[in-house]
Amino acid sequence: NKVILLNARPVGKPVSSDFKFIEEAMPVANEGQVLLKTKYVSVDPYLRGRMNDSESYIPPFELNKPMASGVVAEVVESKLPGFEKGDFVTGVLDWKEYQAHNGQGLMKVDPNAADLSAYLGILGMTGLTAYCGLMEIGKPKAGETIVVSGAAGAVGSVVGQIGKILGCRVVGIAGTDEKVEMLKSKFHFDEAINYKTTTDLKAAVKAACPTGVDVYFDNVGAAISDAVLANINRYARIPVCGAISLYNATTPDLGPRIQPTMVIKSALMQGFIVSAFAAKFPEAIAQMSTWLKEGKLSYAETVVEGFDQIPQAFMDLFEGKNEGKMIVKV
Ligand code: NDP
């Protein structure tokens, strides 16, 4: 049974030697447990923070212990009432091919209602992050302009589509021309900007947002956010969802001071962790499932095959190799 451990805490960008593959004896399900076979593994930018030995909203991974993330698994044996062989479940699970589990925190998922991988993306953590962060903090109104950074990723692509459903003008910022094209053609963004080839991002955002920016959904931080914040309107709302451009930084980032803008524009900036909105999850899942069925919402996935590919898929997030949700199919 293959297991992936945290071998070393990364300095800067994570590298292959930060992970270690080991073989352990095949686990067995004891009384009160299920035996799970890993089917789909979610790799997520936030795991980078858990690889550091620092205090956060979630404890760090321990050295020489398994890495873990959102997983869809199949119950291959059950000695736990409520679970049967053949059920599919999702939860935060170890990076192991098979594992025994007491069921706590596991949620059954229906393979007939949606693709199993969707429970790690649009109907899972990243979809909920997009919905809750946008609705609860961004509070967009029809006719307003939303800018989203990290727009072609799992969270960003859903934020933009919800913005369109709500009648907003939506502008995305992403790192390749292919992503820019996908945002406009597949996800119906009004405009998209390639931040890697645009020399004056502030001017590009201004041109793409003729009436200014009312909501800035920030997945990235630093220079990209500076360019957007220079274009915000009075009473702008800024859900701060992530700062992926800074997760591998080894020195503190110093950017333009934004306080005068925040005052002059009476803007609201609020960071959040999706779990804070747990009470909204049933509504969010119901609404997004309806939009999916109606064809108003769609999603992209980059699916990498093979358990051994989990660390590489994770590292590739920081190279922008994914369109939509990055998933490993085991
Ligand atoms: P994505 O699917 O968006 O994947 C990461 C993307 O980030 C890459 O594809 C890449 O796209 C972009 N990126 C990587 N490095 C940089 C960089 N240096 N500068 C700019 N862009 C970069 O991941 P998610 O949708 O899962 O997550 C998006 C953000 O949301 C992350 O910051 C994450 O931490 C955060 N998040 C927060 C949650 C919360 O509860 N607050 C929950 C879930 C996610 P490109 O080619 O465009 O550069």
Nearest alpha carbon to residue 37 among 72, 81, 84: 72
Helix, strand, coil: what percent of the chain each, to 5? 30, 30, 40
99 lines ligand 1 (CB under 6 A): no
Give CA 256 to chain center in angstroms: 27
Q: Is residue 223 part of a domain?
A: yes
Does residue 168 share a domain with residue 89? no
Q: Is residue 238 part of a domain?
A: yes
Q: What is the mean pLDDT of residues 170-174?
A: 99
> What is the share, in percent, of the chain residues with pLDDT greater than 70?
100
Q: Is residue 163 part of a domain?
A: yes
Question: What pLDDT sits at residue 216?
Answer: 98
How far does the centroid of ligand 1 lie from the alpha carbon of residue 219, in Å?
A: 6
Q: Which residue's CA lies nearest to atom 35 of ligand 1?
A: 242
Quote the tokens at residue 119.
């429970």
Exposure string (b/e) for 278-299, b if CB count within 10 Å is 16 or more? Answer: eebeeebbebbbebbeeeebeb
Does residue 138 share a domain with residue 117? no
Does residue 266 share a domain with residue 142? yes
Phi-psi region of 85 (alpha: psi -120 to 50; beta: other; left: phi over 0): beta
Q: Is residue 77 part of a domain?
A: yes
How far does the centroid of ligand 1 lie from the alpha carbon of residue 220, in Å?
A: 6
124 lines ligand 1 (CB under 6 A): no
| Ligand 1 atom showing the smallest separation from residue 46 Cα | 34
44 lines ligand 1 (CB under 6 A): yes
Does residue 83 share a domain with residue 46? yes
* 147 and 236 Cβ atoms separated by less than 8 Å: no
Does residue 230 share a domain with residue 156? yes
Q: Which residue's CA lies nearest to atom 10 of ligand 1?
A: 320
* 158 and 182 Cβ atoms separated by less than 8 Å: no
Please give the residue range of the domain that contains residue 26: 2-121+300-329
Mutate which of 178, 240, 244 to test ligand 1's pocket (most atoms within 8 Å of Cβ)? 244
Question: What pLDDT sits at residue 142?
Answer: 98
Question: What pLDDT sits at residue 194?
Answer: 98
* 173 and 149 Cβ atoms separated by less than 8 Å: yes
Question: What pLDDT sits at residue 330?
Answer: 98
Q: Is residue 234 part of a domain?
A: yes
Q: Is residue 321 part of a domain?
A: yes
Q: What is the mean pLDDT of residues 82-99?
A: 98
* 171 and 149 Cβ atoms separated by less than 8 Å: no
Q: What is the mean pLDDT of residues 19-40?
A: 98
| Ligand 1 atom showing the smallest separation from residue 49 Cα | 34
Domain count, the chain: 2
Does residue 139 share a domain with residue 248? yes
Question: What was the ipTM of the complex prediction?
Answer: 0.99
Question: What pLDDT sits at residue 183?
Answer: 98
Instruction: Give the orientation angle of helix 125-132 with respect to helix 154-165, to 10 degrees.
Output: 40
How far does the centroid of ligand 1 lie from the alpha carbon of residue 45, in Å?
A: 6
Quote the tokens at residue 155.
């969270």
150 lines ligand 1 (CB under 6 A): yes
- Looking at residue 98, the DSSP 8-state letter turns out to be E
C-alpha 284/C-alpha 270 separation (Å) is 20
Does residue 160 share a domain with residue 61? no
126 lines ligand 1 (CB under 6 A): yes
Question: What pLDDT sits at residue 41?
Answer: 98
**pLDDT by residue (tens digit) across 276-313?**
999 999 999 999 999 999 999 999 999 999 999 999 99
Average pLDDT value over all residues in the chain: 97
How far does the centroid of ligand 1 lie from the alpha carbon of residue 282, in Å?
A: 24
Does residue 91 share a domain with residue 7? yes
Does residue 63 share a domain with residue 39? yes
Quote the tokens at residue 17.
């030697």
160 lines ligand 1 (CB under 6 A): no
Question: What pLDDT sits at residue 132?
Answer: 98
CATH number of the domain within which 76 lies: 3.90.180.10
Question: What pLDDT sits at residue 108?
Answer: 97
302 lines ligand 1 (CB under 6 A): no
156 lines ligand 1 (CB under 6 A): yes
Query: Looking at 255-294, which runs of residues are DSSP E strands?
Result: 268-271
* 299 and 92 Cβ atoms separated by less than 8 Å: no
Does residue 209 share a domain with residue 80? no
Residue with tokens 């946008």: 134
Q: What is the mean pLDDT of residues 265-286?
A: 97
The kind and range of the H/E element at 131 are: helix 125-132
Q: What is the mean pLDDT of residues 32-60?
A: 96
Nearest alpha carbon to residue 294 among 101, 177, 161: 161
CATH number of the domain within which 258 lies: 3.40.50.720
Does residue 244 share a domain with residue 169? yes
Question: What pLDDT sits at residue 260?
Answer: 95
CA torsion 297→126→272→59, rounded to 10°?
A: 170
Does residue 189 share a domain with residue 68? no
Cβ neighbors of 61 (< 8 A, separation 6 or more) are 6, 50, 51, 67, 68
